[in-house]
Amino acid sequence: MAQRLAGKVAIVTGASKGIGASIAKHLAEAGASVVVNYASSKTGADRVVSEITGKGGRAVAVQADVAKQADIQRLFAEAKKAFGPLDVLVNNAGIYEFAPLEQVTAEHFRKLFDLNVLGLILASREALKHFGPTGGSIINISSVVATAAPPNTSVYSATKGAVDAVTRSLAKELGPRGIRVNAINPGMVETEGVHSAGIAEGDFRKQVEAGTPLGRIGQPQDIGPAAVFLASSEASWITGETLHIAGGFR
């Protein structure tokens, strides 16, 4: 079981911390060679790579802003140079920003949609050139807010609703090429992003926990194993799905 992804090559965007780092480490533990992408946190990405290689895994860190086309092309070229043809793309890079309606600006909208939606689409498009003839697996990191849509998250929730729609559409479009497209929709997970947003503690967290049947928020390690499953041959007849990992929160 330990090497379910032996010989596979994966790119994880936004993998220097949080959910992305957990997914990168879980994919590597399952035998995949992993490209740890980061936008600005080289230190974090290097730490993830050293954790993986320290356990005998294969990983490299590659800087790229996936909201930029040129960066995406360079990311995939570097991945190919390091490990060869691609098997798995995890679209995890995203911005986590809330604002009440009075504070929503065009800049806020574009910043979130450019990375959370356009970046995901452009990275998926680039992946098409790098998957082998047998296809591959695209895993989009969405969120329960795609459907739960709490107050003050109109733009963020809209980006994740778009991610779910893109996931379903691409699953139908790319299925004939042997490319599966699924989404993981986490609930509130205790990450650096949640801490920097100032909601890791306090009333918001208490509200979420009160509405979660399993009574707690998630940890990054709660998400990684699902990505391994969706990337593996065990999920070979699963596409177009949104897997909620949220302790039962809806």
Out of 32-36, 165-169, 197-201, least confident range: 197-201
pTM above 0.95, yes or no: yes
For residue 74, tell me if it sits in a domain: yes
Residue tagged active-site, from 131, 156, 229, 249: 156
| CA separation for the pair 243, 52 (Å, rounded) | 26
Residue 155 binned pLDDT confidence (cut-offs 50, 70, 90): very high
Nearby residues of 132 by Cβ (< 8 Å), 6 or more positions away: 85, 86, 87
Percentage of residues of the chain with pLDDT beyond 90? 92
Q: What is the count of structural domains for the chain?
A: 1
The pair of structure tokens assigned to 55 is 């356990």
Kindly tell me if the per-residue pLDDT of 3 is higher than 80: yes
CA nearest to 86, candidates 184, 5, 182, 20 = 5
Residue 2 binned pLDDT confidence (cut-offs 50, 70, 90): low
Question: CATH number, domain at 146?
Answer: 3.40.50.720
Read off φ and ψ for residue 224, nearest 5 degrees: -55, -45
Give residue-wise pLDDT tens across range 110-134: 999 999 999 999 999 999 999 999 9
Read off φ and ψ for residue 185, nearest 5 degrees: -115, 90
Kindly tell me if the per-residue pLDDT of 198 is higher than 90: no
Kindly tell me if the per-residue pLDDT of 1 is higher than 50: no
| CA separation for the pair 205, 20 (Å, rounded) | 21
For residue 111, tell me if it sits in a domain: yes
For residue 154, tell me if it sits in a domain: yes
Average pLDDT over residues 70-97: 97
CA nearest to 114, candidates 76, 75, 171, 72 = 72
For residue 130, tell me if it sits in a domain: yes
For residue 197, tell me if it sits in a domain: no
For residue 199, tell me if it sits in a domain: no
Cβ count near 89 (within 10 Å): 30
| CA separation for the pair 153, 159 (Å, rounded) | 10
Average pLDDT over residues 164-169: 98
For residue 136, tell me if it sits in a domain: yes
For residue 214, tell me if it sits in a domain: no
In the block, which residue shows the tokens 């909208």? Answer: 109
Out of 34-43, 136-145, 185-194, least confident range: 185-194
Amino acid at residue number 138: I
The residue segments making up the domain with residue 155 are: 9-191+220-244
Query: Is residue 156 flagged as an active site residue?
Result: yes
